[in-house]
Amino acid sequence: MAIKSLSQLEMQQHCQAQILSLGNNIASKILKIEDIGDYIPGSVMVQDLSSLTNTYMNQTGCDYLKHSKEELQALGPEYFSRFFPAEEITVIKNDLFQFVNGGDANKVYSFFQRVRPDANNDYKWYFTTSRLYPSAEPGNALKIIHIAFSANNMSYAGRKLSNLVEDDAFIRKNLHRFNLLSRREKEIIRLIVEGKSSFEIASCLYLSIHTVNNHRKNIIHKLETNSLSQLIKFAVSFGII
């Protein structure tokens, strides 16, 4: 499903920023998905990709799929074949595994998908945004959280979701810059914010001082700032530290 207008693109970026902020709040134990999930104006689910099982579904998702969260969890892998077109879900699952195996908790992945509750209903388009699910429990590295909005209702849903998380204007403004950073550059930002010099960073990461300085130049170029205070704000807002 093609993006039709700039306003729709902006709304997609808004949804991506919101799930990033929401995930940061969950990781910081400010929010619990079980407490806030039913207030989010879309379908919210947490999936364990190692077993292809839903471990959480909010009430909106349950109502649309006409199943309780316990029933959806009991379906296991059948969940995917029951509610999604087979030819599409195969591609989406492969892309999700690739995204999750990247292991970057500060990235988001977005896609359009079709969903229907049963064979008696037509498929509806949803815009889904995903990120790794923050969890302190061992063995949950393949858990992922999705928020899916009806493609026809994204504007309302985005505004509604904004009220559930902290003011994230900075995230929305800088999300495109954040997506330019490599994993190594994020590591270096964290060490810079911790007060380490280029020589100390080189020692920590087993890199040459020349390589570290090149990374620092790239970071300045991508973020369009050489201000330490701005770098700290960026690191905090995007969960780098």
Task: From 121, 149, 170, give the residue that closes a domain.
Answer: 170
Please state the rounded mean pLDDT for residues 6-26. Answer: 75
- The dihedral built from the CA positions of residue 89, 92, 94 and 100, taken in this order, carries a sign that is negative
* Residues 65, 24 share a domain: yes
Task: From 139, 170, 201, give the residue that closes a domain.
Answer: 170
Does some domain include residue 1?
Answer: no
Residue range 186-233, pLDDT digits in tens: 999 999 999 999 999 999 999 999 999 999 999 999 999 888 888 988
* Residues 157, 40 share a domain: yes
* Residues 97, 208 share a domain: no
Residue range 77-134, pLDDT digits in tens: 999 999 999 999 889 989 998 998 888 888 889 899 999 999 999 999 999 999 999 8
Please give the model's pTM, rounded to 2 decimal places. 0.69
* Residues 137, 95 share a domain: yes
**Residue 66 is part of a domain; what is its CATH number?**
3.30.450.20
Q: Which residues pair with 86 in a beta bridge?
A: none
Does some domain include residue 86?
Answer: yes
* Residues 184, 166 share a domain: no
* Cβ contact 187:45 at 8 Å: no
**DSSP of 11-74, one letter per residue?**
HHHHHHHHHHHHHHHHHTTS--HHHHGGGSSSEEEEEETTTTEEEEE-HHHHHHHTS-HHHHHH
Residue-number span of the structural domain to which 144 is assigned: 6-170
Type and span of the H or E element at 143 = strand 143-150
Please state the rounded mean pLDDT for residues 44-72. Answer: 94
Position 1 pLDDT exceeds 50: no
Residue range 144-167, pLDDT digits in tens: 999 998 887 766 666 666 655 555
Number of domains the chain is built from: 2
Residue range 25-55, pLDDT digits in tens: 888 777 788 888 887 888 999 999 888 899 9
